[in-house]
Structure 1
Amino acid sequence: MKMKLAMYVLMFFAILSCNSNAQTKKLSLEPEKGKAIAVFAEGCFWCSEHIFEAVIGVDKAVSGYSGGTMKNPSYEQVGTNRTGHAEAVAVYYDPKKISFKELVTVFFASHDPTTANQQGPDRGSSYRSIAFYKNAEEKKIIQDKVKQLTATKVFPNSIVTEVKPIMDFYEAEKYHQDYIEKNPNQSYVKAVSIPRYNLFKKTYRGKLKPKL
């Protein structure tokens, strides 16, 4: 009886895992004409998405997974810290209104890039800091920003942000998209996400969209 029950439990989680995987998909990183896409990982993607979407020139931000090798990873799989992926956001923007360089500024202004495999209360490689680039020009912009922040001692500790070429980006499950907007009273959102967003608003010197 115990063996049969264990078998059903395993089958249930296997089905659940398959269903979770089915909810993720690989996104094309080829932008529409006149638009551009950038990818960043800076801890929980709920807050990252909310922050980038507040910046003028950003059309939208999509929560997802990047930096690893597993295809179509689920939230649960990424959370094991064994897929190589980190929670990330694909930022769709208008380069006529905001530059990649300014998005890099937003990235470093909206999280702590000195904590390895950790962002606030979240720990593990899936929460590590990564600035992705598509070409040599973007790579240099990121590296120059790191040098500038280091030289001016903006952060008390060394920056540990990974600078990596963007390979694949997998859109996260639907319930993760626009999570803060849809769940403003969720405990993590109130205790972690909103305070982080408010701190960003106080320290960022760029242009933000008017509050609706």
Structure 2
Amino acid sequence: MYSYKTYLSSFLLIILFSCKNIAQINPKQQAVIDAKPIEVELVNGKARAYFASGCFWCVEAIYESVKGVDEVISGYSGGFTKSPTYEASNTGKTGHAEAVEVIYNPEIVSFETLVDVYFASQDPTQVNGQGPDNGSQYRSIIFYQNDTQKQIIMNKKEALAKTLGETIAAEVYPFQKFWIAEDYHQNFEKLNPNHGYIRNVSIPRLKRFQAKMPEVLKANH
């Protein structure tokens, strides 16, 4: 028979773990999630979009291959600390994820297509990482700047979940600020083609994406 003593012990364990989970919620991070999105104005007709999807070396190269994309910059976003660095973000204590700023011509490529590229270029079910890169600094986040973008993201995320029959790991954040990464991270794949990580992880990931969405690629890719 299920004794009162056993019931009490179980109840106390539930309370203990519930309190522990509540204590682990970072109010500073929650403030980022609940913030009002900041909309970035067009500059010379060019828009900006922000994505986190594992190592920014990989993601930068993926978006650079898409028609209508002028430039992609590696950096950090989604956290609560100011002026994050590579070393600080790697501790997982800043709240930031490695992210990219995609500068694009909305007359050629839409935000909706950029979201399609996002999901097609990753394992959408992997939590806190992509491939061999694990940790909150490598988690998947899509940043929205207005309600229209948020709805596009949520619709595609829901549709993908139904198609796969699995939970989609990507978090959805209001965009706040993008911090540019150190110079040596910029164009890393292009400048370091023989780097072990680039050969074994980044380039294969790029090629898998290109095989999925050849219709969006630039002529030289």
1:9 aligns with none
Q: Quick one: distance in 1 between partners of 2:207 and 2:54?
A: 16
Cα deviation 1:159-203 (Å, max 9, x = unaligned) = 011011000100000000000010000000001000100111111
2:143 aligns with 132
1:81 aligns with 92
Q: Quick one: distance in 2 between partners of 1:182 and 1:29?
A: 29
Q: Quick one: distance in 2 between partners of 1:173 and 1:30?
A: 24
The alignment-based identity, stated in percent, is 51
Q: 1:205 to 1:141 in 2, by over 3 A?
A: farther
Instruction: Confirm or deny that 1:114 pairs with 2:153.
Output: no
1:171 aligns with 180
8 Å CA contact 2:90–2:137 kept in 1: the answer is yes
8 Å CA contact 2:53–2:129 kept in 1: the answer is no
Q: Quick one: distance in 1 between partners of 2:85 and 2:41?
A: 23
Q: Tell me which of 63, 80, 84 is aligned to 1:52.
A: 63
Instruction: Confirm or deny that 1:162 pairs with 2:171.
Output: yes
Cα deviation 1:54-111 (Å, max 9, x = unaligned) = 0000011100000001111110000111000000000000000000000000000011
Output the TM-score relative to the length of structure 2. Answer: 0.80
Alpha-carbon offset, residue 211 of structure 1: 2.2
Alpha-carbon offset, residue 113 of structure 1: 1.9
Output the TM-score relative to the length of structure 1. Answer: 0.83
Deviates more, 1:199-208 or 1:54-63: 199-208
In structure 1, what residue type is equivalent to 2:79?
A: G
Contiguous gaps of at least 5 residues in structure 1: 1-27
User: Larger Rg: 1 or 2?
Assistant: 2
Find the residue that maps to 1:210 and give its secondary structure: coil
Contiguous gaps of at least 5 residues in structure 2: 1-38
In structure 2, what residue type is equivalent to 1:65?
A: Y
Q: Quick one: distance in 1 between partners of 2:162 and 2:166?
A: 12
Cα deviation 1:132-169 (Å, max 9, x = unaligned) = 0000000000001011112222xx63101101100010
**Mapping for residues 181-200 of structure 1, pairs under 5 Å:** 181-200=190-209
In structure 1, what residue type is equivalent to 2:45?
A: G
Q: Quick one: distance in 2 between partners of 1:174 and 1:207?
A: 28
Question: In proportion to residue count, which structure has more helix?
Answer: 2
